[in-house]
Structure 1
């Protein structure tokens, strides 16, 4: 593996040199454990940052930690925070029926019972994707399967008379469809396009200048993803009508800024919303062992909970998470499509779980 490892520390005051060395070694081990053309592990602990980069490909002209990476499903944490902010400021209610915002003045049978909170917590009863999605996506499955399914088609599929598979609020089923509908409902409720709404209500208040919702199309801005072979490049992800569920791309440093805001909400303009997305909201699975907040997966550790979300696109993977008990945030990124026996998520999860 070719590596361009380097530690970048944001010194906010004293520190433990031995502790910094230990963090760097752990990050280097994580980088070496992931087989991908480009790998970045960025960690913040108590406000001090360390970033380590590497990969099987030669270092690109622009340092790997300065490129923007596709988050895939981890983008949902941004849309969830947007919902919490709009609820907290009284713009919408979590119990609002989504159909009432998307098509006011009309009833939509079973769909009228699906609320904004159902959509973000994957309890809406909607499938992972609309039934008619796969036929049009198959020709583009390894490049851009979502690009040709526009927002109005997502909304139309939601407002169809086909009943959800389960009564809303009764079962958990992961749904890109549901979170996408949520984004369009918020846009309709505010009469503001989702991109502008997320930028104004989340990205700008948190100072996320290295975050975008489209590939730039300019060299040296976005990391290049690869198919599962680790050699064949794929074009930048375009999400069509599924933007709220997977469009965010960001630099490792911006991801740490986003995660650090969750660790210190009182230092941000979104304090109430950030606290809201950290509260346990539902449990599922055998013995109700799996805990979820409005937008994060939450697992226990020996000293307190850790929050995380992973994502994958046609050519990249991402893992973001934080632990309030240790003041630790982690962003991990790799430019290779997920494949059988992939080590990326397990490595990132283990690093966050085991960081003292």
Structure 2
């Protein structure tokens, strides 16, 4: 995602304010495939073929009917691709945004709480404090990463730079940072800010991050195939560098858990997205509705719309919500369109260069369906 800075106009915060086909079909199991089913499979196969990566998964849900297609340039792994967990990178922020919305909707905390007061109760207070809402909407005035992140991560830049920046350094860097702009007035995409948010939420609730997200989001939504740390070759996909052949080690996020720690299999991701499509009667229903509401507009003509968890773009048939993510060796794209009952989780095991066929292919597919 871009890290350019733009004027921001916050809107009201919603707290008050080739190898596999797998279809989960709510119709009788002997229902024959329709021409529409075949056309959809061909479109998904074309999307898989367009992505030049060792492993590719496109998982689609339309009105509760799931279709998964997989492929890739590498031989099929011992564990089928659709059963593996994939690193979501920045798409993890959609889980963090949902958690914050849930905590605010249930009254556990307010999004207007100053983060520094939660992380350092004895510290000095600022006249314009950075709040939890600022952190999740990338308007806290923080850079993409702490100033000393690059120096500390340089020795392992091509393997695991985040691992050299633990939680205490993230918190200390935030408490020492002095924003150049008043919080809430500029948008600047920040892994740093969302990482700080995770530590602030843990401090506010007295619960470690892993336990907090698991207990408040993953378990209630039934996401048993989702994890917050590496597993092993029997559970996790192996990422690759930009050449598409050199494997990279599993991501270690250090103190950036809330910004990029989530790993999930395609079925869990569809469950997560389907909950956003139709929150009615589901756990976290109020929060799922809240994260669909715009809270910030930015850019020329305020055309760029954000919720607390998603980027939102207009389409002919209502808004499309999406978020991408990348680690050193994998990429993910999550999106959904409530008006058409469509959700897409796209995953691959390669880190692409600037011209990103993966994101372009996934975005176009979701926008068309």
Structure-2-length-normalised TM-score? 0.93
> What are the residue-to-residue correspondences of 1:1-356 with 2, within 5 Å?
3-4=18-19, 6-13=20-27, 17-109=34-126, 113-160=129-176, 162-216=177-231, 218-355=232-369
SS in 1 for 2:267: helix
Cα deviation code 1:131-158 (max 9, x no counterpart)? 0111011121111110111101100011
> Separation in 2 of the partners of 1:348 and 1:115?
33
Task: Please report how far the alpha carbon of residue 108 of structure 1 lies from its aligned counterpart in structure 2 after TM superposition.
Answer: 4.2
Q: CA RMSD in A?
A: 1.2
- Give the count of matched residue pairs: 349
Maintained 8 Å contact 1:297/1:308: yes
Listed as ranges, the gaps of 5+ residues in structure 1 are none
Kept in 2, the 8 Å contact 1:71–1:312? The answer is yes
Q: CA deviation at 1:7?
A: 1.8
Question: What CA distance in whole angstroms lies between the structure 1 residues aligned with 2:340 and 2:250?
Answer: 35
Contact 1:154 1:180 in 2 (8 A): yes
Uncovered stretches (5+) of structure 2, i.e. residues with no partner:
1-17
**Residue 240 of structure 1: SS of its match in structure 2?**
coil
3-state SS in 2 of match to 1:53: strand
In 2: Cα distance, 1:24 partner to 1:145 partner:
39
Pairwise CA distance, 1:269: 1.0
Give me the TM-score of the superposition, normalised by structure 1. 0.96
Q: Cα deviation per residue 1:15-38 (whole Å; 9 max; x = unaligned)? A: 871221121111000000000000
Query: How far, CA to CA, are the matches of 1:154 and 1:270 in structure 2?
Result: 29
